[in-house]
């Protein structure tokens, strides 16, 4: 029998029957995977799908989205309350609890009857219908303004939660600052994250309004399956010096508010700081690699400290070069942020891009810096005062947004967000 060349239809039939007809380009007919290879490939795809379908629980001792591994995308929303009574605020948080518990598990809001009645607006906006949870987390906090005279909660404001000062070099813009309530939504799919913010805002109508929002991103797990430290838009790894989130003792020391800290309703919660940092990318891109590395105090390629080899090698702040100068410059970002190892916080940053700045013709892009800590004054403020005064990185960045939020402890089933405070 004469050999007959494989047609595209023949190949597709083979692929459909047993997964054995997958072609690799290179030759008229290509090369077929063996059955073993095809099965292995199918397992890898299924495993990746299962990982992507994973859902984090909403209820628990701590809120998800703090020590949770960072997802691919961020949708941050700041709200201002229009309500005048605490009962209205309490009712909003109850509604948000029910909604968040559903959305984090990939369920639509409402039920079949409330989403299919042709004479009523659907209970769910629908853009996430049929989508998997995508590891979504929804993290809630309240800002300093929440504790003014409106709701009778001034006496419950924690001492560890002061107003953020204006730091040296800040160029804060009101449209990126403050808020009575902050909601951090993270997910491996941007549409899933946006859906959550949109529906929370919808549920808040008559009680709260959006003050500002910002979307963020980092490299996806598909682009970097090894889940290494993400890089910021300057090309450097961001978050290398984070404490170990798997170390419970360290998390209690650095991140989680403890009962003895003076605000019992915040125990097992954390204080979040958000800074919208505009990067002067056009200026940065004209800087030499050596100047960039001296600015961060790390090698761009590996992320290792200058003078070291591996990303997670400790910073040798006493090392000198042949001329007697510090290997890691005195004003390098990594040196100053290290705080001699005495002060730590948990960074959870995302890059952002908001298109073109029409006033300058330059990119409006940079970093949504988000961090969590046990005490804002002793941790973030102490660190930022030093960075604002001495950091060489200040030549290339401007802080244009600033906010802080007291993120509640986790919610027990049957309870609601902030129930200990209310």
Domain ranges of the chain: 8-53, 73-407
Bridge pairing between strands 270-279 and 397-407: antiparallel
Using CA atoms, how far apart are residues 233 and 401, in angstroms rounded to an integer? 18
> In the 8-state DSSP scheme, what is residue 366?
E
Q: What pLDDT score does 92 carry?
A: 98
Instruction: Supply the angle between the helices 86-103 and 190-203 in degrees, to the nearest 10.
Output: 150
**Cβ–Cβ under 8 Å, residues 364 and 244:** no
Spatial neighbors of 213 by CB under 8 A, at least 6 apart, are 75, 76, 77, 78, 197
For residue 163, give the nearest of 178, 184, 183 by alpha carbon.
178
Question: Helix, strand or coil for residue 358?
Answer: coil
> In the 8-state DSSP scheme, what is residue 126?
-
Question: Helix, strand or coil for residue 241?
Answer: coil
Using CA atoms, how far apart are residues 223 and 253, in angstroms rounded to an integer? 34
For residue 233, give the nearest of 401, 69, 403, 397 by alpha carbon.
397
Sign of the Cα torsion 277, 283, 285, 288 reads negative
**Cβ–Cβ under 8 Å, residues 127 and 194:** yes
pLDDT, averaged per 10 consecutive residues of the chain (422 residues), comes to 42 39 37 41 45 82 97 98 97 98 96 91 95 97 97 95 96 98 98 98 98 96 86 95 96 97 95 98 98 98 96 95 95 95 95 93 96 97 98 98 98 96 94
Neighbours of 359 (CB within 10 A): 7
E runs forming strands in 164-306? 181-187, 208-217, 270-279
> In the 8-state DSSP scheme, what is residue 31?
E
For residue 370, give the nearest of 276, 296, 246, 230 by alpha carbon.
276
CA atoms within 13 A on the CB side of 367: 26
For residue 420, give the nearest of 65, 56, 156 by alpha carbon.
156
**Cβ–Cβ under 8 Å, residues 167 and 388:** yes
Could you tell me the two tokens for 244?
């170990």
Residue recorded with tokens 């600033």: 402
Query: Could you tell me the CA-to-CA distances from 155 to 37, 147, 151, 194 in Å, in that order?
Result: 65, 8, 11, 35
**Cβ–Cβ under 8 Å, residues 334 and 326:** no
Angle (CA) 328 334 339, round 5°: 105
Using CA atoms, how far apart are residues 66 and 407, in angstroms rounded to an integer? 9
Using CA atoms, how far apart are residues 365 and 380, in angstroms rounded to an integer? 23
Using CA atoms, how far apart are residues 387 and 249, in angstroms rounded to an integer? 27
Diameter of the chain measured on Cα atoms: 92
Q: What pLDDT score does 20 carry?
A: 33
For residue 277, give the nearest of 393, 399, 403, 404 by alpha carbon.
399
Question: Helix, strand or coil for residue 147?
Answer: helix
Residue recorded with tokens 């042949």: 322
Using CA atoms, how far apart are residues 387 and 97, in angstroms rounded to an integer? 38
Using CA atoms, how far apart are residues 344 and 339, in angstroms rounded to an integer? 8
Q: What pLDDT score does 325 carry?
A: 95
pTM: 0.87
């Amino acid at each position: 029998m004469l050999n007959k060349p494989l047609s595209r239809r023949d190949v597709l039939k083979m692929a459909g029957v047993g997964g054995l007809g997958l072609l690799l380009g290179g030759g008229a007919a290509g090369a077929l995977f063996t059955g073993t290879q095809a099965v292995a490939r199918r397992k890898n795809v299924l495993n990746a799908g299962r990982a992507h379908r994973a859902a984090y629980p909403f209820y628990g001792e701590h809120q998800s989205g703090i020590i949770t591994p960072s997802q691919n995308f961020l949708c941050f929303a700041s709200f201002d309350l229009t309500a005048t009574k605490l009962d209205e605020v309490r009712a909003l948080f109850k509604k948000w609890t029910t909604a968040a518990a559903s959305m984090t598990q990939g369920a639509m809001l409402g039920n079949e009857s409330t989403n299919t009645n042709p004479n009523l607006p659907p209970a769910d906006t629908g853009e996430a219908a049929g989508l998997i949870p995508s590891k979504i987390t929804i993290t809630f906090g309240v800002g300093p303004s929440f504790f003014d005279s409106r709701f009778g909660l001034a006496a419950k404001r924690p001492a560890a939660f002061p107003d953020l000062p204006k730091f040296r070099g800040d160029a804060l813009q009101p449209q990126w600052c403050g808020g009575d309530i902050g909601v951090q939504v993270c997910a491996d799919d941007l549409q899933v994250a946006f859906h959550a913010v949109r529906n929370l805002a919808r549920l808040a109508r008559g009680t709260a309004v959006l003050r500002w929002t910002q979307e963020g991103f980092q490299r996806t797990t598909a682009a970097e399956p090894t889940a290494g430290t993400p890089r910021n838009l300057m090309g450097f790894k961001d978050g290398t010096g984070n404490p170990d989130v798997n170390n419970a003792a360290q998390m209690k020391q650095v991140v989680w508010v403890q009962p003895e800290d003076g605000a019992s309703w915040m125990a097992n919660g954390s204080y979040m700081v958000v800074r919208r940092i505009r990067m002067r990318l056009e200026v940065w891109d004209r800087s030499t690699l050596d100047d960039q590395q001296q600015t961060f105090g790390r090698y761009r390629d590996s992320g290792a400290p200058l003078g070291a080899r591996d990303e997670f090698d400790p910073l040798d702040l006493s090392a000198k070069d042949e001329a007697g100068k510090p290997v890691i410059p005195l004003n390098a970002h990594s040196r100053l942020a290290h705080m001699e190892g005495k002060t730590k916080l948990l960074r959870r940053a995302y890059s952002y891009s908001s298109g073109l700045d029409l006033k300058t013709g330059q990119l409006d892009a940079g970093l949504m810096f988000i961090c969590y800590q046990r005490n804002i004054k002793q941790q973030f403020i102490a660190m930022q005062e030093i960075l604002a005064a001495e950091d060489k990185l200040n030549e290339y960045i401007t802080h244009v947004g600033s906010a802080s939020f007291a993120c509640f402890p986790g919610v027990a089933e049957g309870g609601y967000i902030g129930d200990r405070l209310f």
